Every structure is written in structure tokens, then in C-alpha cells.
Amino acid sequence: MDFTLILFYAFGALLLGSALLVVLVRNPVHSALFLVLAFVTAAGLWLLLYAEFLAITLVLVYVGAVMVLFLFVVMLVNPRTVRTDKTFQHQWDVALLLFPILLIPFVYVLWTDKLPDLPVNPAAFQTVRGKLAGNTEAVAWSLFRDYLLPFEIASLLLLVAVVGSVVMAKKRI
Amino acid sequence: MDAMLNISTLHYLVLGAALFLLGIIGVLTRRNVVIVLMSIELILNAVNLNLVAFSRYWQSIHGPNALHGQIFAIFVITDAAAEAAVGLGILIAFFRNKETVNVDEVNLLKW
């Protein structure tokens, strides 16, 4: 019964609770703020998995950029009538019939598969050039040597996304 | 009870699966298009949680420098940001034409 156990259940409960509230609340601004909470607790869970660089990247990129963009768009396109509109679309019961069908493969796989425990020994920290290094150095060492081509393709993808979103949102092309 | 006291990879996978299902419910049932896009971000977050959990599991087998899951998660974050930007641009273009953000009223191709 150590502290990481309590942290896992606390972060997990917060994550699932805020994700549920994202889906259920009526006001889209509240929904966006609950999504921010979900991302921050997910970053906490990644810290428990010893992925520090990725946790900070999640908070910086996702919460700091993507959710700010979402909030701007929510402010731009949501009218005053969102308080009296219906929350769910008019085919919500048929759509929710899909949910048990989607649940079956998850339950089957997770029930019958057994994976061993996560390592908790301190020797599971990364090494760069023989010396003990942090997660950021190890991720950089792996990203810029073994995965350089996907990295460059990702930067090209971001360029395409920037051009695409500017063109889509312009009044007159 | 013993399974609940030792955190294994399976716990993170169950959490990721639950998050994925919540995202799918959000995509399928919400009326506001912006919240549908936010549920897609939830789905991608669930995928990232799975990847990072498996990266930790892979480290227990292949040594502490086997960070492939985390590299994959970096790319998923990049793609999710790009897709959110383009999706919101499309939303704004649609809103300029039809002045609504309800999925019920996206029915121009209905017979």
C-alpha cells in the first residue's frame, strides 16, 4: 500500500470523472474546461509511468494550445441559445445501442489477457552514452536518431495543417 | 482485491479502454459539433495512455532505453493538434454558411 497506488486511483478517478462530465454537461465552455482537467490528470498518470517529457508536452501542447483554440472557437460559434438547446442529438438512443457492442471486445481482451507487472526498480531509468540521463535526453536520443524520418514528416504535416486551417477559415480564398 | 493492490499494465489499459468508450459515446450522442471534436481528443488521449503504458512494459523487457511507445505518443499528440486545427477550421467554414453548430441540422445530403 504505497503512495503510487493512491496516486493511480486518485488520478484515474479524476480522469474518468472529468471525461464523463465532458460528455454530459450542456455548456460547451464547461465541457472544454473539464477536458482540460482530463488532460492534466492524464499527464499525472504519465508521470507515474515515468514519462516526464511526454507529460509536460501534453500539458504544453494539448492544454496550452489545442484547448485554447477550442475555447476560442467555442466563443466564436456558440449562440446564446445553447442554454436552452437540447444536449443530445435526436438519434441518441440508437447511437447508444452501439455502446454494448463496442464494449464486448474490450471486455473480452482485457479479461482474458494477462500482462505482468510494471517494473518499479530504479535501474529502469534511461541511460544516454553510458551515463544515467533523464527522460528528455533519452527521448531526444531516440527521436533524432532512430525516428528522424517520421519527425521530419510530422513537421511537414504541421505545415500542411497550418496552411489548411488558414485556408478553411478565410472569408475569401 | 490483490489485483487492485498491485498496479500492473492491465490497470492502465482498462483505464485507457474506459476513456476510449467515453470518447465514443461523446462522438455518437452529442449535438454540438465542437463537443464532438473534443470527444475525438478524448479518444486520442486514451490511445496515448495505452501507448505510454505499453512503453513502460516494453522497458521491462528490452531495457530502459526502449522508448518506442513514448515516441509514438509524441507523434499522436502532433497529429491530434494538427487535426484539431483543421477540424475547427472546417467547423468555422461550415458555420459561416449555415449559422448553426448542431449535428442535427447538417442534413443537406439527406434524401
Residue numbers in A near B37 (CB within 8 A): 70
Please tell me the CATH code under which domain B2-103 is placed.
1.10.287.3510
**Domain match, A156 and A112 both:** no
State the number of CA atoms in the 13 A half-sphere of A106 facing the CB.
17
Domain residues for the domain of A137 are: 125-173
Q: Could you read off the pLDDT of B17-51 as tens digits, one per residue?
A: 999 999 999 999 998 899 999 999 999 999 999 99
Q: Give the C-alpha distances (Å, rounded to integers) separating B34 from A22, A121, B61, B81.
A: 11, 43, 41, 15
Q: Give the distance from residue B85's alpha carbon to the nearest chain A alpha carbon, in angstroms.
A: 6
Which position has the higher pLDDT, B104 or B74? Answer: B74
* Three cell numbers, residue A21: 462530465
pLDDT at B38: 95
Shared-domain flag, residues A45 and A71: yes
Q: Are residues A71 and A131 in the same domain?
A: no
Q: Å from A127 to nearest chain B CA?
A: 7
CB contact under 8 A, A19 and B22: yes
Predicted local confidence at residue B50, as pLDDT: 94
Domain ranges of chain B: 2-103
Question: Do both A76 and A93 map to the same domain?
Answer: yes
pLDDT at position A116: 65
Q: What is the pLDDT of residues A25-50, one digit of tens each?
A: 988 999 999 999 999 999 999 999 88
Window 138-167 of A: residues touching B by CB (8 A cutoff) are 138-139, 141-143, 147, 150, 154, 157-158, 160-162, 164-167
Dihedral of CA atoms A103, B30, B42, B94 in degrees, nearest 10, equals: 130
Query: Does A131 share its domain with A155?
Result: yes
Lowest mean pLDDT among A3-12, A82-91, A120-129, B93-102: A120-129
Contacts with A, B 14-33, CB within 8 Å? 14-15, 17-26, 28-32
Q: Based on the domain organization, do A134 and A85 belong to the same domain?
A: no
CA distance A125 to chain B (A): 6
* Least confident window among A68-77, A82-91, B66-75: A82-91
The per-residue pLDDT of chain A, averaged, comes to 85
* C-alpha gyration radius of chain A: 21
Based on the fold, state whether residues A111 and A149 are members of the same structural domain: no
Confidence of residue B108 (pLDDT cuts 50, 70, 90): confident
Query: Does residue A149 surpass a pLDDT of 60?
Result: yes
To test the contact with chain B by mutation, choose from A2, A54, A91, A139 the residue with the greatest count of B C-beta atoms within 10 A, namely: A54
Q: Which residue has the higher pLDDT, A53 or A111?
A: A53
Q: What is the pLDDT of residue A173?
A: 72
A108 lies within 8 A of chain B by CB: no
Number of domains, chain A: 2
Q: Are residues A18 and A83 in the same domain?
A: yes
Q: Say if residue A91 is in the same domain as residue A166.
A: no
* 3-state DSSP of chain B: CHHHHCCEHHHHHHHHHHHHHHHHHHHHHECEHHHHHHHHHHHHHHHHHHHHHHHHHHHHHHCCCCCHHHHHHHHHHHHHHHHHHHHHHHHHHHHHHHCCCEHHHCCCCCC
Asked whether residue A86 falls in the same domain as residue A111, the answer is: yes
pLDDT level of residue A158 (50, 70, 90 thresholds): very high
CA-to-CA distance for B68 and A139, rounded, in angstroms? 9
**Are residues A129 and A109 part of one domain?**
no
Q: Which of A75, A93, A120 is the last residue of a domain?
A: A120
A87-106 average pLDDT score: 81
Using H for helix, E for strand and C for coil, what is the string for chain A? CCHHHHHHHHHHHHHHHHHHHHHHCCCHHHHHHHHHHHHHHHHHHHHHCCCHHHHHHHHHHHHHHHHHHHHHHHHHHCCHHHHCCCCECCCHHHHHHHHHHHHHHHHHHHHHCCCCECCCCHHHCCEECCEECCHHHHHHHHHCCCCHHHHHHHHHHHHHHHHHHHHHHCCCC
- Distance (Å, whole) CA A83 – CA A27: 7
∠ CA B76-A107-A4 to the nearest 5 degrees?
65
d(CA B91, CA B96) in angstroms, rounded, equals: 9
A161/B90 Cβ within 8 A: no
What is the pTM (predicted TM-score) of this model?
A: 0.89
- Contact assignment for A117 to B35 by CB distance below 8 Å: no
Question: With contact defined as beta carbons under 8 Å apart, do B8 and A115 qualify?
Answer: yes
In this structure, the answer to whether residues A61 and A134 fall within a common structural domain is no
